[in-house]
Structure 1
Amino acid sequence: MIKSSDKTTFKDKTNYLWKGFRIVQRMVPSLLPATIAGAILKSFNPFITIYLTARIIDELLGARSLSRLAFLIGFALILNLAVFLAQKGMEHIKDMGDYQLYYLGKIEMDQLILSTDYENVEKPDFHLKKQKIDEACQMHRRGIWQLPRLTDRFLTSLCTVVFSMAFAFHAFIPSSSNSSHSFIASPWLSLLLLGMVILSSTYSVWSNTRFSKWVFKRMDRVMPINRIFSFYANLLDDHKFGKDVRIYQQRELISQSYYRFMLSSQELFEHDMAKMQSRFFGISAAISSLISGLVYLFIGMKALVGLISIGSVVQYVGAISQFTTGFSELITSATEIWQNIDYVELYFNFLETPNPKYKGSLPVEKRSDNEYEIEFRNVSFKYPGSEIYALKNLSLKLRIGDHFAVVGRNGSGKTTFIKLLTRLYDPQEGEILLNDINIQKYDYQEYLHLFSVVFQDFQLFAFSVGQNVATDVHYDKERAMECLDKAGVGDRVRDMSKGLDTPLYKIDDDGVEISGGEEQKIAIARALYKNAPFVVLDEPTAALDPVAEFEVYSKFQEIAGDKTAIYISHRLSSCRFCDNILVFNQGVLIQSGSHNELIQDEDGQYYALWNAQAQYYKENSEKARVLGSN
């Protein structure tokens, strides 16, 4: 569960607020100036009508000068039009700025996800924090996205209060005339009314503060429900589920389950939200209505006894009403700004997620002969939050130019071995050496350049085929096609409508859907294009049949040449050609050697795994022979 820190001081909150304003200004420089100008214009606009209407009424009840009436009406129209046009211009700039801020603020988080250490990406707390930021943004535009709107509200209400005080000031000045109406003219009635206005606004602030805190805490309960909602949304939208839905007639099951979920969550939140809103805002609305009635009564009594003119009634009532609304809104918006800092803090805490990995500065020696040697020396590793070793006391050397196979049951530590090799994680015990130097001392990005990896859960993107292979916008097309040919998918790409420039997946009309086997071959072509001295295939051929997988591995064996290559596969027959086979079990390297060596050890796990798979193929082969003879 993610909560804002109760220990955040006033100074810390103020710093986060200014950091929020600075990042908004950096992302969209025109947004805050337009917000400030628009707030001033918006707050001033009602007072044009209030003041000039009062003067027009006084003129109609007084001298009735046509020239002065024409001047007042014309001036009111021109000034209202000018302010209206200027305000609309600022609103247009604001709307465009809010649109830009929404995406730029999201991109800022996405850039962090792309650049932060992989260890962070696999932490649940990291994702929960981002989810809370996303949901706060989508539901209420909280965080940095709400700062311009709250600034607009705060400045508009502040200017409204200032203007209303200036326009209503004379209504509260005690009058020395009409002593028979001394109570109405006395300062005590004015002070009493002002006190009631302030108390009403204070209660509104208190109600809004408590409600904002409740909403922030409520986000932790909303997130699990939103995750379920996202699951159903993806289930209903993704065409890949269409075959199973129809074959197994799951439409009714999904629809009923989705309906029950929506009904239960809707009843829960509608009841809670309505209950909390009525509790916090019902009394506030009643008090505000009462105060407004007293304002009208106060001004009406002054006009009735002749203390103010009829035109001034319009001015003072309008100004005091604006003050009542503006003052309450001022405190409320200030409170909301203060509450919103919790979300701004959450945003910056996410952006400032520390990278646990030590980044060295030593450059990796560039060698044309690829003379690199990596050694695991007593390496042990546990995943964060786990007490079980994923790898335990691993010691081995990856000899230059050798081709290794890594085998073992699920969960034996094969993929963890690759993650440590490529520094996606660092070991808690022992060390990994490159040419006798701890890999943590090398520049991280330079070290990563040593590896071409096709992971078990590799990803291609909705870019062109060529960009997927080269991982760059600008690339060598001949080289990319050569790599695709070596991976066995070149002809398929040539048959596409735009060749290398054809986008993968149906994100537009030119996109193509490809099979799982074709995806894997393009991923292998990507590894070839990088041309790194270490090549790793981490079960990337799961979608291929055993014969096709063996052909890919055999061909890749030729392509790898003098590179150091590591193959991970559950199908042991695909790894027979390797110089050395490493057998893992429960995080421990229990056997190593060539296929011919390991198969001689009848008590070893490799022998058991090999014969279990060989028996399966023998049985299938025998069945096929019998069926064929019949």
Structure 2
Amino acid sequence: MAEDFVDPVDLRIEARAGRRSPRRLLALCRRSTRLVREAAPRSFAASVILQVAAALLLAGQVWSVKLLLDAILAASDGGASVASLVWPVAVLAALTALTALTGSVQSYLSRYLGERVARSMWRHVLGAATAVPLRSFESSAFYDRLRRVQTNAVSRPYQVTRGILTTLGAAVSAVAVGATLVGIAPVLLPLLLLGGVPLLLTSRRESHLEFDFDVAQTPNQRLRAYLTHVLTDRDAAKEIRAFDLGEPLGHRMDDAYGTFLHDLGRHLRRRTLLSSVGTLGTALVLAATLGALVVLISRGELGVADAGAAVVAVRMLQGQIQSMFGGVQSVFESGLFLDDVEAFLRTGVAAGVESRGFPAPERFDRVDVDDVSFTYPGASTPALDGVSLGMTAGEVVAIVGENGSGKTTLAKVLAGLYEPDEGVVRWDGVDQAGMDRRSLRSRIAVIFQDFVRYALPASENISAGSEHDDARVRAAARATGADRALEGLPDGYATVLSRLFRGGRELSGGQWQRVALARAYYRDAPLVILDEPTSALDPRAEHDLFASLRDVLAGRTAVFISHRFSTVRSADRIFVMDAGRVVEAGDHDTLMALGGLYAELFTIQAAAYSEPTA
């Protein structure tokens, strides 16, 4: 339900309540590692191996520096020949080259692994987005979370895993280099370990600042994304130019971006301050460590070679400790976003589980709507208020009424796209709510007035959502009169119906409407719902379509919704809606004789065509 998507303030409070602890760190590591491992197991294993190898190579460089310094001192004292330098130099050069090669391979592998994770996460996110109830799309909170998920789902799981790999590599390097340092000057190691404490203290606050900023900016990001879409969308292009909206909408976009940049600047200043405090603390600890190293040298407790190796080890170890705590910070920061992503995915899973039930019947004798009410999220009045009606197999039923009377909402309830707040929809006396959603939708063909024009081949526009069969596609096109337009395309039914892609062609509004009707005909469903199915057809085409409707549907139950009363007079029964209620029912003659709302509206529309020309 849309109400399951929490307010941003509640989300930030929930994030702050998630305490930073070793247990939470382990939980985040397990979750994100599982996601990455499932997306690319071999690449993940290779990354771990390379990370450990890079750490060991780093420790090896410390020893090679010590060996080289020993050899240089021995050669300078005349105790060894210059040739004795060849081996230490070769070892150091080889280790340096291997380190560079390992880093290069890690970089390429990281890019590939990131794309594999992105593909896997998009699969999960799109699956959840198409599984949540249609009602969720009536909530702005849902759109806010969907926007955050679209932004973070692709990158954050891998960022957590990359943080884990960084922490792992830095830890292995720290252990290896630390062991080397212990062998040279053990007193320096505890001092260096203290260098990570300032970073640990400031990183948590930085993580929460980043998450709070992202959540707070979600509405602004959505506004900018919307304005970008409108200003670059092909369908909106004509109106943008006709009303000269480019400049005012461009200013609105610029203002929104300006607000974002102002907030971003303030946010980055706060993060920079925190980061500076942590870095300064680490630098002070490093200075103290180097001071201790100087004291050891001055006392003669370290030789020149040991001192040189110790300097290299101290610098390397300090860098690894910073990397390790930086990796931990990355895990926690991305983990906050990962919580948000997983909450969204759980919503999709829950919706899928809730929609399971027994299979819908392949055919029915009767469908009844019994006292159904439905209110949109945030609305003060119901869109449907105690609606009751019934239809039998093979009937052609019309639902009419003025705009806003609830016709389309009722169509969505009949199609199983909305769950009613009250009341039930029954198929042969069985509550529709207990049926498996996917099974139910396969028994219903519904085409709305704002049907989707897919930038796909014509054949796929007709067979959308069903198993493809060329013969059935052509039969559906012939039944609705779409065949004349499609067979004349350059590649026939294989032509892409959009100029967005090379070789594509565009159809007229009426031709598109026939394709959409063919889509409904193609699905062999016992219940067909057509919402304003002829709004783009000319009067002759509209008359021909309805004249052949019974033959085209071949015994299926048809519910068509229209505000054109002249097109529904041949229906078996007509239900008249007003303010979310069914106020009249009967065939055309009965309703005209009743002299109620239907007769009034029919007469008004008929008068518009019958008035004499001045």
Give the structure-1-normalised TM-score: 0.88
- How far is 1:533 from its partner? 1.5
Match of 1:39 in 2: 51
User: SS in structure 1 opposite 2:93?
Assistant: helix
Bigger radius of gyration: 1
- How far is 1:200 from its partner? 4.1
Asked if 1:432 corresponds to 2:397, the answer is no
The correspondence for 1:109, drawn from 100, 122, 125, is 125
Match of 1:234 in 2: 229
User: SS in structure 1 opposite 2:383?
Assistant: strand
- How far is 1:101 from its partner? 0.9
- How far is 1:424 from its partner? 1.5
- How far is 1:87 from its partner? 4.4
Query: In the TM superposition, what whole-angstrom CA distance separates every residue of 1:403-425 from its partner, at most 9, and x where no partner exists?
Result: 11101122212122222212212
**2-side partners of 1:607 and 1:37: how far apart?**
79
Query: In the TM superposition, what whole-angstrom CA distance separates every residue of 1:524-543 from its partner, at most 9, and x where no partner exists?
Result: 00111112121111113333
- How far is 1:427 from its partner? 2.4
- How far is 1:104 from its partner? 1.8
- In structure 1, what residue type is equivalent to 2:597? Q
CA 1:91/1:332 → structure 2, altered by over 3 Å: closer, same or farther? closer
The correspondence for 2:511, drawn from 506, 515, 518, is 518
CA contact 1:580–1:593 (8 Å) conserved in 2: yes
Asked if 1:423 corresponds to 2:416, the answer is yes
CA 1:612/1:234 → structure 2, altered by over 3 Å: closer, same or farther? same
Query: In the TM superposition, what whole-angstrom CA distance separates every residue of 1:46-77 from its partner, at most 9, and x where no partner exists?
Result: 33333212221221111333443111122223
- In structure 2, what residue type is equivalent to 1:610? F
Match of 2:492 in 1: 499
- In structure 2, what residue type is equivalent to 1:135? T
Asked if 1:54 corresponds to 2:66, the answer is yes
User: SS in structure 1 opposite 2:424?
Assistant: strand
CA contact 1:167–1:315 (8 Å) conserved in 2: no
Q: How does 1:269-308 map to 2 (within 5 A)?
A: 269-270=264-265, 272-308=266-302
CA contact 2:160–2:330 (8 Å) conserved in 1: no
- Which one is further off, 236-245 or 504-513? 236-245
The correspondence for 1:79, drawn from 95, 113, 117, is 95
CA 1:320/1:265 → structure 2, altered by over 3 Å: closer, same or farther? same
Match of 1:378 in 2: 371
The correspondence for 2:451, drawn from 442, 452, 458, is 458
CA contact 1:35–1:148 (8 Å) conserved in 2: no
**2-side partners of 1:133 and 1:360: how far apart?**
25
Asked if 1:610 corresponds to 2:606, the answer is no
**1-side partners of 2:304 and 2:153: how far apart?**
49
Q: How does 1:464-613 map to 2 (within 5 A)?
A: 464-471=457-464, 475-602=468-595, 604-613=596-605
**1-side partners of 2:88 and 2:171: how far apart?**
27
Match of 1:99 in 2: 115
User: SS in structure 1 opposite 2:583?
Assistant: strand
- How far is 1:555 from its partner? 3.1
Q: How does 1:312-327 map to 2 (within 5 A)?
A: 312-327=306-321
Q: How does 1:324-403 map to 2 (within 5 A)?
A: 324-353=318-347, 354-355=350-351, 358-359=354-355, 361-366=357-362, 370-403=363-396
**1-side partners of 2:98 and 2:606: how far apart?**
87
CA 1:493/1:607 → structure 2, altered by over 3 Å: closer, same or farther? same
CA contact 2:398–2:571 (8 Å) conserved in 1: yes
Q: How does 1:9-24 map to 2 (within 5 A)?
A: 14-24=26-36
CA contact 1:205–1:328 (8 Å) conserved in 2: no
Runs of 4+, deviation exceeding 6 Å? none
The correspondence for 2:185, drawn from 164, 167, 172, is 172
**1-side partners of 2:372 and 2:220: how far apart?**
41
Match of 1:151 in 2: 164
CA 1:226/1:15 → structure 2, altered by over 3 Å: closer, same or farther? same
**2-side partners of 1:361 and 1:243: how far apart?**
47
CA contact 2:210–2:333 (8 Å) conserved in 1: no
CA contact 2:585–2:591 (8 Å) conserved in 1: yes
- How far is 1:401 from its partner? 1.5
- How far is 1:490 from its partner? 0.8
- How far is 1:475 from its partner? 2.6
**2-side partners of 1:264 and 1:120: how far apart?**
29
- In structure 1, what residue type is equivalent to 2:142? F
- How far is 1:290 from its partner? 3.4
**2-side partners of 1:296 and 1:20: how far apart?**
38
- Which one is further off, 343-352 or 329-338? 329-338
- How far is 1:607 from its partner? 1.6
Give the structure-2-normalised TM-score: 0.90
**1-side partners of 2:150 and 2:38: how far apart?**
21
- In structure 2, what residue type is equivalent to 1:607? A
CA contact 2:138–2:377 (8 Å) conserved in 1: no
CA 1:145/1:49 → structure 2, altered by over 3 Å: closer, same or farther? closer
CA contact 2:213–2:267 (8 Å) conserved in 1: no
**2-side partners of 1:118 and 1:251: how far apart?**
32
The correspondence for 1:202, drawn from 197, 208, 221, is 197
Q: How many residues align?
A: 596
CA contact 2:372–2:420 (8 Å) conserved in 1: yes
CA contact 2:528–2:556 (8 Å) conserved in 1: yes
CA contact 1:120–1:355 (8 Å) conserved in 2: no
Match of 1:178 in 2: none
- How far is 1:137 from its partner? 4.9
Unaligned 5+ runs, structure 1: 174-186
CA contact 2:533–2:560 (8 Å) conserved in 1: no
**2-side partners of 1:540 and 1:13: how far apart?**
56
User: SS in structure 2 opposite 1:375?
Assistant: strand
Identity among equivalent pairs (%) = 21
Unaligned 5+ runs, structure 2: 1-6
- How far is 1:241 from its partner? 3.1
**2-side partners of 1:502 and 1:607: how far apart?**
46
CA contact 1:503–1:512 (8 Å) conserved in 2: yes
User: SS in structure 2 opposite 1:599?
Assistant: helix
- In structure 2, what residue type is equivalent to 1:528? Y
CA 1:222/1:588 → structure 2, altered by over 3 Å: closer, same or farther? same
**1-side partners of 2:267 and 2:260: how far apart?**
12
- In structure 1, what residue type is equivalent to 2:371? N
CA 1:124/1:546 → structure 2, altered by over 3 Å: closer, same or farther? farther
- How far is 1:305 from its partner? 3.8
